[in-house]
A and B are shown apart, each in its own frame.
Chain A
Amino acid sequence: DAGVIQSPRHEVTEMGQEVTLRCKPISGHNSLFWYRQTMMRGLELLIYFNNNVPIDDSGMPEDRFSAKMPNASFSTLKIQPSEPRDSAVYFCASSLVSPLYEQYFGPGTRLTVT
């Protein structure tokens, strides 16, 4: 299995630009999670989906962030407009709901907003 796939691996953009991060979960997994990791705040859950439906988006920082999961094999996290404080590593993870809740993480996207 290829594991969770994320693209791009690195993104450098200017403040105000739109950024789209992509994720392909492990085949057969029915839950997908978006996290953000920074030195100051650690690893924080932004949003998660179960069977393509958003379940908990309480971690999405503000309206500039949006996430979609149009089908079981693809999800996007969009930031529009981007700001320097959005600079972080963004991880996507997937899991099977039952019986375990182990989440498998992708390699992450390192986003730098200048």
Chain B
Amino acid sequence: EDKVVQSPLSLVVHEGDTVTLNCSYEVTNFRSLLWYKQEKKAPTFLFMLTSSGIEKKSGRLSSILDKKELFSILNITATQTGDSAIYLCAVTQGGSEKLVFGKGTKLTVNP
């Protein structure tokens, strides 16, 4: 069965800390991995990764994929209280638009 596992399930840090969120996957015919941020409402798109070793970066957030070891990490540097959210990882498979989501990591950034 296809699965996506995120760790840790929850994380509490102080403003200014750097965090690393993990996502491992087991799917057939892997095509891409996506990261979403979910605050109080709907998930919003952060990154899509398709190739190993190429870092995607947006401000203080960055992500990288390892297709050999079947995982991705999402880094957030100099965290702010506005980074508090659930971070979701999802994968897609060739021939389908279906997203298979992990359970998410709940990040809390305290002032």
B101 touches A42 (CB 8 A): yes
Chain A, residues 30-65, CB within 8 Å of chain B (1/0): the string is 010100000000111100101000011000000000
A31, A97, A101 pick with most chain B CB within 10 angstroms: A101
Query: Is A104 interfacial (CB 8 A cutoff)?
Result: yes
- Which stretch from B37-45, B54-62, B72-80 is at the chain A interface? B37-45
Chain A, residues 72-114, CB within 8 Å of chain B (1/0): the string is 0000000000000000000100010100111111111000000
Count: A-B pairs, CB below 8 Å: 47
Identify which of B32, B41, B88, B102 contacts A101 (C-beta below 8 A). B32
Which residues on B sit within 8 Å (CB–CB) of A102?
Answer: 34, 45, 48
Which residues on A sit within 8 Å (CB–CB) of B98?
Answer: 45, 48, 56
Question: Using a Cβ–Cβ cut-off of 8 Å, how many residues does chain B contribute to the interface with A?
Answer: 19
Identify which of A91, A97, A100 contacts B48 (C-beta below 8 A). A100
Which residues on A sit within 8 Å (CB–CB) of B41?
Answer: 107-108
Query: Is B69 interfacial (CB 8 A cutoff)?
Result: no
B102 touches A42 (CB 8 A): yes
Shortest CB–CB separation between residue A28 and chain B, in angstroms? Answer: 16
Which residues on B sit within 8 Å (CB–CB) of A45?
Answer: 98-100
Query: Is B92 interfacial (CB 8 A cutoff)?
Result: yes
Asked whether A105 and B43 contact (CB < 8 A) given A43-B88, A48-B97, A50-B97, the answer is yes
